[in-house]
A and B are shown apart, each in its own frame.
Chain A
Amino acid sequence: MKNKVEKFELLKQITAMDFSIIDLHLYLNTHPMDNCALDKYNALVMECKMMKESYERFYGMLCMGSISYKYPWQWIEEPWPWEYDANFKL
């Protein structure tokens, strides 16, 4: 249970950071000269990368091309993101 709580807490942070990154990415597409936005984007990406590395080490792969720390092949494990059990409470 504790493991699930920690997993969801980390997933919540990653989801929130990733979303901010997406929104900033779209802004940068139409504001390519905005230095401030670029710095903020890179800072978020670096922080998110570290969180994702932690997540993947303990709780499983997030992407095709992620390292698989568990055996057997963990990518196929359920629940998949569209199931109730895979989602945290915001």
Chain B
Amino acid sequence: MNVTRNKTPETDFKPMEQCTPQETVIKDVKLAAAYVPFQKLCSLFHPLDALIYGTVFPELVSPYEGKSKHYKMSRQEQKGDNYEE
């Protein structure tokens, strides 16, 4: 789908500061535990853009276009060597 709308997110708050939309350091981590950084709110998409992107948060947008249906990889490309040569 063509996203012809303005890609700049709405910045109606925290517009002047440099805003990092996540924590970048996690302290006191323990062994055998998993850690996902917390998101921090910086800006939001306009609702119609949010509906197209699938989220109202620009930092969570993760585009995926699919793989080519026609591309065929040769064995050489896949494995990288041909011992018959």
State which size class the interface on B falls in.
Answer: 10 to 19
Instruction: Give the secondary structure class of B's interface.
Output: loop
> Are the C-beta atoms of B52 and A90 separated by less than 8 Å?
yes
Q: With A20-B50, A23-B50, A90-B51 given, is the CB distance from A37 to B41 under 8 Å?
A: yes
> Are the C-beta atoms of B51 and A15 separated by less than 8 Å?
yes
Instruction: Give the secondary structure class of A's interface.
Output: helix
| B-facing residues in A18-34 (Cβ within 8 Å) | 19-20, 23-24, 27, 30-31, 34
The A-B contact count (CB < 8 A) is 43
In Å, the complex CA distance between A30 and B38 comes to 9
In Å, the complex CA distance between A20 and B41 comes to 14
Interface string of B1-15 (1 = CB under 8 A from A): 100000000000110
Measured CB to CB, the residues of B under 8 A from A are: 1, 13-14, 38-39, 41, 44-45, 47-48, 50-52, 55-57
Sample (12) of A-B pairs whose CB atoms are under 8 Å apart: A13-B47, A13-B48, A17-B47, A20-B47, A20-B50, A27-B41, A27-B57, A30-B38, A31-B38, A37-B41, A40-B13, A44-B47
